[in-house]
Amino acid sequence: MLLKLLYTRGSLHNQPQGEGVAFSLKNRLDTVKVTGFRQVQIGDVVIPAEQIEVDMGGGERRPATAIDAAGQAVELPVGRALTVLLAMPPLAEGIHQVQFWFTTDAFGELHVEVEDAIVGAGNQKPRIPRSEEDDYSEAAIAARQRFAEQFSEKEFKHLKHYSFDAHQLQGNCEHFMGVAQIPVGLAGPLTVHGEHAQGDFLIPMATTEGTLVASYNRGMQVLNLCGGVKTTVIGDAMQRAPVFVFSDARGARDFGRWVEANIDRIRPEAESTSRIAKLQYIDTYLSNKFAFLRFNYSTGDAAGQNMVGRATFAACSWILENYKETKIEHFYLESNFATDKKASQINVMRTRGKRVVAEAVVKRDVLMQRMRVTPEQLAYHGQVSNVGAFLSGANNNGAHSANGITAMFIATGQDVANVSESSAGVLYSEVNKDGDLYISITIPSLIVATHGGGTGLATQNECLQMLGCVGRGTVNKFAEIVAGVVLAGELSLGAAISSSDWVSSHEQYGRNR
């Protein structure tokens, strides 16, 4: 079941001019050395090693008979792809059973069996140009630009211009052909009193929504006049949630107990894949005949979804090999229980990414002079809006944290789809004994990074530099800054709605006509 992941689905094809058949393999499991290709079988046709070549990329090909354990092994680190070339007649259109036998240094002889299809030329759409040698070269990019213009019958004057070396995009963007230029506005500086972020921070916000930057800037000014915002990271965990299927509920229950008893044996298997990922604990949730395991990791300065996926895969491989008490009917690495890229109640309760709180005391006179509302009006408005959130079925009561988070995510190279989880905000306010407004927001699933992903790209890294969030150990600092920005936005919008300034502000600064 796991070995099928080596095969690249959709890669089976007839080579040009009747030169044979080919398919691709990619190591998605663990670093190994391939020590031999014994044979391939497609349908009833057996192709021996003498009729197999392996294309290792970069123009290097090697006969399968020249691959052996005695100094001729092929290094296959995680992520490397190989193309297997078969000297055989072309295959007919349709689905074919593909089997191949090979050996590795770590696992001995392996056998993989999959299905793939040959698609007829008449069913194929025009293909986006790409270069096997260097898909980020100027020539490859220019070919895609011409293709896009010819396909759409339009000329693009702005998409094609960018200021960085496209090779930096490897691992971030496939089929690269240009850039979407998003305006970046400045808000702040915002005074933050965190455990990691301390001082004044100028906030880059990438957006096309009128009044957004102005609104957040207004909220920051008010917070600064009241001494700034206090921020605290109170939780940190990134998840992957596999599911194991059994024949009955009792099998799932017994498996859950076994996992709990063997956590100290599972942990080193998971952590063997990364020097950063650390397995904190595993939650077990049982339903019907399913055992859902929620693996919880710390991931350093990276957001860590890919990191924990690989770690959990290694852990589950060990579990599948060592659990003997009850037959595991099915296994899926992700069950949808981690709720990756989706808002969920479990992440509000249990944390995903960083759990961070921003809070401030807003002085009565500042609130009345700058926002034209009293603390009592704003606190009462919060109670009313809580009823609206409850009736709507929303899983949080924040006003618009997605606005500020998205603008900062785009500016700093975060995975923007994580806004779906990160924007959940639990807002609370009260009038304190001095007649001032205490306001705080808890962001229970803020998924941010200062390393990896898009954070190292040209403009994105410059925005992180502006915040002083480049280098080891800066992710909690960035999380605290984001939380402070969110609180500024909640304060500004809440006051604008309470004082009826909301529509007039959009009329003045936005593009409503």
Answer whether 50's CB lies under 8 Å from 34's CB. Answer: no
Q: Is the dihedral of CA 162, 168, 173, 177 positive or negative?
A: positive
Residues 6+ apart with CB under 8 A from 440: 357, 358, 359, 360, 427, 428, 429, 487
Answer whether 217's CB lies under 8 Å from 292's CB. Answer: no
Q: Quick one: which of 371, 470, 357 has its CA closest to 413? A: 470
HEC per residue, 125-155: CCCCCCCCCCCCCHHHHHHHHHHHHHHHCCC
Annotation says 115 is catalytic: no
Answer whether 176's CB lies under 8 Å from 161's CB. Answer: no
Beta bridge partners of 26: 81
Six token digits for residue 343: 């808002």
CA–CA dist 42, 115 (Å, integer): 9
Residues 6+ apart with CB under 8 A from 307: 238, 273, 274, 276, 277, 297, 299
Answer whether 251's CB lies under 8 Å from 269's CB. Answer: no
Which residue among 53, 269, 340, 415 is the active-site one? 415
Backbone angles phi, psi at 129, to 5 degrees: -65, 140
Annotation says 269 is catalytic: no
Which residue among 30, 68, 149, 209 is the active-site one? 209
DSSP secondary structure code for residue 197 in this structure:
-
Answer whether 297's CB lies under 8 Å from 277's CB. Answer: yes
Annotation says 193 is catalytic: no
Active site residues: 209, 415, 506
